[in-house]
Structure formats: structure tokens, C-alpha cells
Structure 1
Amino acid sequence: MSAHDSFDGAGAIGCPAVFIAAPASGQGKTTVTAALARLLRNQGKVVRVFKTGPDYLDPQVLEQASGQPVDQLDLWMAGEEYCRQRLHVAAREADLILVEGAMGLFDGEPSSADLAARFNIPMLVVMDVKGMAQTAAALMAGLAGFRDDVRILGLVANNCGSRRHRELIEEALPESVPLLASVARNADIALPERHLGLVQAAEIRDDLEIRFNAGAKALEAEDLVSRLLALPPVPFEPTGVDDPEALPSLHGRVIAIARDAAFSFIYQANLDLLEAMGAELRFFSPLVDRAVPPSDALWLPGGYPEIYGARLAENTAMQASIRAFYEAGKPILAECGGLLYCLEGLTDYDGRTHAMLGLLPGAGWMRGRRGCQGMQTADLPEGPVRGHAHHRSVAEGTPEPIAHGRRQRHPAPGEAIFRRRRLTATYLHLFFPNNPAAMARLFGVDTPATDTAIELKESQGCN
């Protein structure tokens, strides 16, 4: 059976797949996944890469490494049917599917292991072995025996100090979880980071190319690719959740989307959905452009406005254009960094305050490494939409919210949701495919225009 043969009459497609996980964050999952994707690409293979959970930065890196779009898979935020359909689509074209996990493989609800188990994808564990040898084998034995519904193929030992270091680990590992590869300690391979994770791919594209190829060269000698390509195909069934005929319509609507170094936290899935609903997307840069392109609605996504506060403040022509868009009563969605941009001012990490749009009363400021994160549902007037929060800023002096996010596993109110005229602003990053009908109403012509607050108990949350 070939990798792309149908398994049954239901249209399931088979493709070799591997889930790249780790015992904790910071072990080098993305570094290894990117190196493996680049090695496959260099060999002329089509590799489709997915990222577990609500992550923006890793997919940017993995997309550049693989040369293919990278989608997020999350059983809670996106749902099982969505995840299954995306895997099915990838299986139709890929020689190998890679899914990078999040945090430790058993962390979270649902965890990386839950996702791997749901779709029967075998797991490859990346572990930073600096400072240990036989203990790495003990950890692997524990991970392999923790659950009986996941299959662990073996270990990739990252930051291996020497050949002898590798031998000590390999000799101690049980036969059921062998050492499949080791990556020597090499600063030229590791990916650079900053306060919310990896540095954005677009900012260091040439540097990443050097790191990808160095990582690919390190893995090439390990014969890992041939082992993964020889894995039995995993069947992925279609669900039809992306059938355009079943989606609400945004036909004829033009949506302007801020996209540059300051605003880049954009799920490809959100763009795909808007286009599938018939919307025309027009991208622009609040940093360098002078006006919002002609459009019916505006999306200001998250990103790093705190890094580019001075340039955003200096572009007064763009600020005037967005204010005019707001005054015209057109719908605007502002998420996280977009919310900060809509406030009256933003104070950066150096203590400098920059004038922002002033569409909402209040000001934002950065607070070091302490931050807020977690999965939440935004109860919008248009309908509930799942998403997540991840920020290291505070918004103060803001108006009464119309609602708060509902946390996935905690009763305390989550992030505030503001509505003024047709501006919706919140720290939450929304996953549009979770509720296409709600997003069609928000960006469409019948968005409720209200700034009346929904009565809720006072929140002691992040804002």
C-alpha cells in the first residue's frame, strides 16, 4: 500500500506521520522539527507540518523550514473534526506528516499525548540531555510506560555532548524505545528566542536558513528520515468541515488585515476560513502604509506593538485613517496587540509611552516576564468563539467590558471583551473556524453595535 492509498470506502487516506514531543518545554522540539522538515525538503519530499495548540511563532518558523503552510491542531480550540479534516487534506499530498507538540507530552487538557492517541500517530521524544546520561534512559522508560494508548518510537537526544555521551544513553535505553538520533550541542542550530517565544521568522529569515541547513546536516547522518518514511501509513478520514457550501457567506465583503512585524499573530486557518466564506482579504502595514485599504471591515491581530510603539505613533496618517474607519461605523476586531493599539497610549519595556489610536479609553504597559495565558471562550454578541490569551502587558483605565472570556478549566472570569460602536477589542486571540457563523456576523453587515455592558461580577483577572 502506498502512502496515499485509500483505506476504505469512507475516503480515508493513509500517510506516514510522526508526533514530535518532549518531556517539557525548552527541549528543542521546534529546532528538531524544523531541521527534519528542511532535510526532507532538501531530499525532494513533501512534508506537511502541524503545531499543537495556540501557537503563532513556531508555525512561522516551521513554514519557512518546510516550504508548506503550517496549521494549528487543538482538540479543544479547533475540535476533533477540524483536526481530522486538516490531517486528511495534508495526507493527500505529503510524503510525511510531522506534528510538533506543546509543553510536555502529557501536560494540559487535552495534552499532546491526547492528540497523538486520538489520531493514532506514533510519538518521537526530543529530550535535552545536557547534564545527564542514564537518567535520560530512565525518563524515556517512564514516558513510554505512562499510558498504553500512545506509542513512543524512540528518543532524539538533543544537546548531546560527545560520542561517549551518546553511547551511555543508548546503552541504557530499553529496546522498546531506542535512540533514533542525537544532535550535538551547537549554538548554530538552536533557534533564537525573546519574551513571548521564538523570534518571528520574517525578522531573521536569512539567519534561519543557516540554522535549518545546519540542523538538516546534523540529522542527515543519523538515517532518521528513512526510518520515518518507512513507518506504516496512518489513515486520516475526511469530515467535510471545510465544505464551502456549508459555510455562512461573506461574499462581496472586503476585509482589511494588518500584517507586518508589529501585527503578525494570524492563524492561517482564520485566513482560509474568511476566503472560503467568500471574503476578499487585503493586507496592509500600520507601520509603513498611510491608510487602510478600501474595505468593509478591519482586523487588527496580535503581535509586538510594544517593540514598534514609536513607529506606530509616528505614522499619524495611518492612525487618522483607522479613526475614520471607526467613525464610519464599520466593524473592527482588535486582538491583544490590536487591543493595545486601540488604547490611548502604550508604555514599552524601556518606560517610553507612545500615543496610540485612542479608540478605547485606557493605556497599556509591559510588565516583564510575568504574564497571562490560557484557553478561553469569548462570549460575543454574535456567538461564542474559542481562543486563547497570551500576553505580558496590562490594560488599565479601560471602559466596562460587555463580557469576559470563559476559562477552559477555571470559574474565574477571563479576559475582558470590549465593544464600542462596531469595535470589538479583547486580549483573546480568536480561532475563527470554531464558530464560522459568529465570525460572519462580526465581520458582516449585521454586527450588533452596542457598548452596553453585560452585568457580570467584578473580575480579579489579568486586566
Structure 2
Amino acid sequence: MPPSPPVHTLVGDVPRVPALFVAAPASGQGKTTVTAALARLHARQGRRVRVFKTGPDFLDPTLLAAASGAPVHNIDLWMTGEADARVRLAAAARDADLILVEGVMGLHDGTPSGADVARLFDLPVLAVIQAGAMAQTFGAIAHGLASYGAPFRAMHVLANGVGTERHATMLRESLRGGIEWAGALARDAAASLPERHLGLFSADELPDLLTRLDRLADALAPLPVGRLPDPVPICAAAAPSLPPLLAGRRIAIARDDAFRFIYPANVDTLAALGADIAWFSPLRDTALPACDALWLPGGYPELHAATLAANQPMLQSLRDAHAAGVPMLAECGGMMALFDTLVDREGKAHPMAGLLPGTVTMQARLAAIGHQAVVLPWTGLPVEDNEIRGHTFHYSTTASELAPAATATSPRPGGKGEAVYRRGSLTASYVHGYFPSNPAAIAALFGG
């Protein structure tokens, strides 16, 4: 199918692009599948679709990227900041025919919330409500979402999990106060996306993902929500230029089934700082690539612990790099692989790289979640210039004789900060850092 003609316009310096903020009253309502299906629907019609994910998230963006055919960046008014969000939205608006922003949890959950994002950027809201077990209460929930706090540009509601045409009519007739009906989706187990302990499966773990999304896109196409939304003004902002603090340095980044939690913006930041990127797989490769620094991001080492433990050449290569003083950053799952021992969810112990003394043990319940800020005094930067923002989300706990070299802080009153370990050239923590929050500190951490 030939590409559809562009639908964005320019008024002065401000582009106007069809855009929608996809929200829900809670998690588990179907907003990720609906957002992905909308992206797929318009992308297969030849439109250029750009999707953003609100809040810290690694898994949903992989699904949204597969659906849209373009990288997906995060918008989080605390972690990424308003300025970063404006730059990324403005860049998308320059060539996109549709911008979709998926919310996080419930529309009004968190501080800042998805509602704050929708209001700040004046985006119309599509609320996806799981309506399978309700009737007129659907209208009350929609009314509450629309009227709680300052008004939105517009509010549309999509009923999910609807049983019959009569059921859909009851839901539609329950709406009040100018809320727009976006349609009803029937229950369809074949289009749902599977989950596990850290959330949805990643796109590359679902070989039939596009088949599932096409099925749902077909269901959305005849509904009001399937039409292209009205254009809205998108903020104009330019990305700051970064000094080449990492020019001439090669940074090796782990990426495979065990290490997959990587913000695209982090890699973009390293490249903008002048770094050369070398990818490697701790599961499959037997040695590190030649590098000046090393990043082990988070992921699922607990699901691949036996393979990691068996790859002794790679574990030795990590030990050798550490002994040689190569700057190393290990985040969450990356850190787990560097302890002496990893105990998986079945209680089986696996020997790891042994760069950190102690044991990391998987738990049945979530151990920590939320925003985190880290100040690393060993970067050599002034304390006031040294904060890196990010988040934590893990099911494991650590037991170590090694005292933390620093402790992250939580913006939540009473929130607990994660331990940050420092051993030689290694910095390790459960915190997933957002590199654009402080490129200079990231460059210093990697030895630039």
C-alpha cells in the first residue's frame, strides 16, 4: 500500500499533528494492546506513527516499536523531565502522521501522573475501560476519569471486553458530560498479550505478535477510535548539543535474552557523547569485545542463570576486564550476574561472576518499585552536578558483606533508596539510570 499523504500541518513554528494519549482507570485494562493495535492499524495504512510510553518501562516499548515500526521513547515528568519530553515530542512531530502516548497504571495514578502529561502537552485522552463485568457504572468511571482535576482537551472512552451488542449499547448510553464514545471491543483471547513477573513479554519473544495485533487492528478499524484523531499543536523544541566527552572510547553493551532492559535514549546519549558502541551477548559470546568501558543493563538473568553459569569463558572475561580497571556499570539484572551466587525462583543456586561478594535471591513478590535518584561522588563532578535519575523494579534481594558506597534517594516521602555498590572500577545498583538526565555524569562514569 502506498504511503498516505502527510496529515500534519504547521501553524507558525508549531506543528499540528493527530495525537492521542491512551489511558485507563488501572493496570490490566488493555491500554498497551490497544495502543499497539492503533499503531499497527495506521502504520499498515502507510502512515508514519510515533509512539511514546509514559513512565519507566522497558517491555511495553518493544511491543509498541514493533507495531509502529519506529523506536519508542519514554516520557516521565520526574525521570526524563519536561524538557526532554518536549524535545522528543517535537522531533516526532516534524515527520509523524500520528503520535500516540501510552499512559502508565491508572490515568490519575502517581505524582506526576499520566493525566499531568496529557494536560501539560494538551493531548486528547482515550480511556480504555475493561467493561466486561459492568453496565452503567461504566459511565460513572468515565465521568470520574474526565472530571477529576483540571479538564482535558477531550475525553474519549473505549469499552474493552464487551459481551454483546446490547451490552455495548448500555455502556454507550451511560456516558454523560460530553465524553465521546470510541467504540466497543469484544473479548478476544487470541489477541491478548502474555505476561510474567516483570510484565508483558518482549516483542522478540512473541513470534506471532503482529498476527495478534493485526487481529485487534481489524477489530478497531470500523470503530470511531479507528479514525485518525484531529490534529493538535505539538510543542516546538530543539535538542541540546552534547560535547564529545566520550569521543574515541568504545563502550561494550550487553544485549540478549538475559539483558534486554535498555532505554533507546541511553544508547542515543552515549552515541551523542561520541562513544562507539559494541554489542555483545553474555549468554552466547565467550569473550568481551575490545572496549574501554562496559555496561551490563537489567533483564532476566534469573531465567537464564544456568546458561550464564555454564559460560565460564565469558564470566572470566568479565573478571579480567574488572581486574584491568575497565569502567563498568551494572544495573539490576546486570548487577545480579556479578554477585557470587544467584538463587533462581525455584531455589536453585547458580555461581555467577563473583565481582560482588554475596548472594542475590529471587522472591515471589515484588521487592521494590519506584523512582530513584543517584549521586555518585566518584565521578569527580561537583555534587550539585552529579545526580542521575532513574527507577527501580525488581523481585530479588541481595545479601552482601560489601557496604554500599552510596545510597540512592526516592522522591516519595518515606521511600527507600537503593544501595549503590562500588568495587574497583565497578559501579552496581538495582537502579536503572536514564542517561539523558545527566549526560556529563554518565560520561564521567564511563571514564570520559
Instruction: Confirm whether residue 403 of structure 1 aligns to residue 403 of structure 2.
Output: no
String of CA shifts for 1:236-287, please: whole Å, max 9, x gaps: 211433x2xx435211110000000100000000001111111111111100
The residue that corresponds to 1:215 in the other structure is 216
Displacement of 1:175: 5.5
String of CA shifts for 1:139-187, please: whole Å, max 9, x gaps: 1112111123423431111111111110110111125112212111000
3-state SS of paired residue (2:398) = strand
Q: Give the distance between the partners of 2:24 and 2:429, measured in 1 at CA.
A: 32
The residue that corresponds to 1:236 in the other structure is 235
Quick one: structure 1 residues 215 and 158, their matched pair in 2 at CA, closer, same or farther if it must change by over 3 Å? same
Displacement of 1:14: 2.1
Quick one: structure 1 residues 298 and 195, their matched pair in 2 at CA, closer, same or farther if it must change by over 3 Å? same
Q: Give the distance between the partners of 1:423 and 1:32, measured in 2 at CA.
A: 41
Q: Give the distance between the partners of 1:423 and 1:411, measured in 2 at CA.
A: 29
The residue that corresponds to 2:108 in the other structure is 106
Q: Give the distance between the partners of 2:436 and 2:143, measured in 1 at CA.
A: 38
Q: Which amino acid aligns with 2:235?
A: F
The residue that corresponds to 2:383 in the other structure is none
Displacement of 1:370: 2.9
Q: Give the distance between the partners of 1:13 and 1:387, measured in 2 at CA.
A: 30
**What does 1:146-295 align with in structure 2 at a 5 Å threshold?**
146-174=148-176, 176-204=178-206, 206-228=207-229, 231-241=230-240, 243=241, 246-295=242-291
Output the aligned Cα RMSD.
1.3
Displacement of 1:134: 0.8
Displacement of 1:373: 0.4
**What does 1:35-434 align with in structure 2 at a 5 Å threshold?**
35-174=37-176, 176-204=178-206, 206-228=207-229, 231-241=230-240, 243=241, 246-381=242-377, 382=379, 383-411=386-414, 413-434=416-437
Displacement of 1:412: 5.1
The residue that corresponds to 2:382 in the other structure is none
Q: Give the distance between the partners of 1:338 and 1:274, measured in 2 at CA.
A: 18
Assess if the C-alpha contact under 8 Å between 2:366 and 2:395 holds in 1: yes
String of CA shifts for 1:338-363, please: whole Å, max 9, x gaps: 11001001010111111100001011
Q: Give the distance between the partners of 1:349 and 1:152, measured in 2 at CA.
A: 45
Q: Post-superposition, which runs of at least 4 consecutive aligned residues in structure 1 deviate over 6 A?
A: none
Gaps of 5+ in 2: 1-5, 380-385
Q: Give the distance between the partners of 1:314 and 1:201, measured in 2 at CA.
A: 27
Q: Give the distance between the partners of 1:411 and 1:144, measured in 2 at CA.
A: 31
Assess if the C-alpha contact under 8 Å between 1:14 and 1:236 holds in 2: no
Displacement of 1:371: 2.1
String of CA shifts for 1:94-137, please: whole Å, max 9, x gaps: 11100000011111010000011111111110010011011011
Moved more, 178-187 or 310-319: 178-187
Q: Give the distance between the partners of 1:91 and 1:437, measured in 2 at CA.
A: 28
Q: Give the distance between the partners of 1:45 and 1:157, measured in 2 at CA.
A: 25
Quick one: structure 1 residues 170 and 149, their matched pair in 2 at CA, closer, same or farther if it must change by over 3 Å? closer
Displacement of 1:413: 4.4
Displacement of 1:398: 4.2
Q: Which amino acid aligns with 2:9?
A: D
Displacement of 1:411: 4.4
Residue from 436, 440, 443 that aligns with 1:440: 443
Q: Give the distance between the partners of 1:418 and 1:103, measured in 2 at CA.
A: 31
Q: TM-score, normalised by structure 1?
A: 0.92
Moved more, 395-404 or 251-260: 395-404
The residue that corresponds to 1:452 in the other structure is none
The residue that corresponds to 2:15 in the other structure is 13
Assess if the C-alpha contact under 8 Å between 2:8 and 2:231 holds in 1: no
Q: TM-score, normalised by structure 2?
A: 0.95
Assess if the C-alpha contact under 8 Å between 2:244 and 2:272 holds in 1: no
Moved more, 148-157 or 13-22: 148-157
Q: Give the distance between the partners of 1:175 and 1:185, measured in 2 at CA.
A: 27
Q: Give the distance between the partners of 1:182 and 1:380, measured in 2 at CA.
A: 50
Displacement of 1:6: 3.1
Percent identity at matched positions? 49
Q: Which amino acid aligns with 1:350?
A: E
Q: Give the distance between the partners of 1:286 and 1:49, measured in 2 at CA.
A: 30
String of CA shifts for 1:287-336, please: whole Å, max 9, x gaps: 00111111100000000000000000000011111110111001000000
Q: Give the distance between the partners of 2:415 and 2:212, measured in 1 at CA.
A: 43
3-state SS of paired residue (1:407) = coil
Q: Give the distance between the partners of 1:309 and 1:398, measured in 2 at CA.
A: 22
Assess if the C-alpha contact under 8 Å between 2:392 and 2:430 holds in 1: yes
Q: Which amino acid aligns with 1:395?
A: T
Assess if the C-alpha contact under 8 Å between 2:89 and 2:234 holds in 1: no
Assess if the C-alpha contact under 8 Å between 2:23 and 2:107 holds in 1: yes
